[in-house]
């Protein structure tokens, strides 16, 4: 007889989310219109750095520039938006439905402090590129000492 290993945890929030996502994925393969909750997806991203800057590259094909937003602090970048679903063909039977639609949000914690005033972003061919200037931490400043 085979036994099923059962694990108990106090963290039902994470386990519930994983279970909900698994159930949704199973039913979505049967009918792509099926969802348990508001659809969310996670775009793929790369972060790399040079001595002068940090560069983020996000793959977000099909997202209109108007549906895309960035929030930047000295320690993190939040990229969020919405990809609208393309029209569906009536009377079609879907055999595969992998393209994800709906809202997305990624918060990326940066490896070095950046200057939030020196940022550029461009969007081309489905890729968002964000360039962030690093703060120069090793700069020394001469302070004049005055007499009282």
CATH number of the CATH domain containing 59? 2.60.40.790
Q: Is residue 23 in a domain?
A: yes
- The DSSP output letter for 122 is E
Rounded to two decimals, the pTM is 0.66
Its domain, for residue 17, covers 11-38
More confident residue, 106 or 17: 106
Taking Cα atoms as reference points, which of 129, 79, 137, 141 lies closest to residue 111? 137
Q: Is the pLDDT of residue 130 over 70?
A: yes
Q: Is residue 147 in a domain?
A: no
- Confidence (pLDDT) at 38: 63
Buried b (16+ CB within 10 A) or exposed e, 78-87: ebebbbeeee
- Confidence (pLDDT) at 8: 36
- Confidence (pLDDT) at 93: 87
Tell me the per-residue pLDDT of 53-106, one tens digit each, with 9 for 90 and over: 999 999 999 999 889 999 988 888 899 999 998 888 888 888 888 888 999 999
């Amino acid at each position: 007889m085979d036994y099923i290993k059962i694990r108990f945890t106090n963290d039902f929030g994470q386990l519930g989310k994983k279970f909900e996502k698994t159930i949704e994925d199973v039913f979505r393969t049967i009918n792509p219109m099926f969802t348990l909750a508001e659809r969310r997806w996670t775009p793929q991203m790369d972060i790399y750095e040079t001595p002068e800057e940090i560069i983020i590259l996000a793959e977000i094909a099909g997202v209109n520039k108007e549906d895309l937003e960035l929030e930047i602090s000295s320690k993190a970048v939040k990229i969020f938006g919405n990809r609208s679903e393309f029209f569906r063909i009536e009377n079609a039977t879907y055999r595969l439905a992998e393209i994800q639609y709906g809202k997305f949000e990624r918060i990326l914690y940066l490896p070095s402090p950046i200057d939030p005033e020196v940022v550029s972003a461009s969007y081309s061919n489905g890729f968002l590129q964000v360039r962030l200037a690093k703060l120069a931490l090793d700069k020394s400043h001469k302070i004049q000492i005055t007499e009282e």
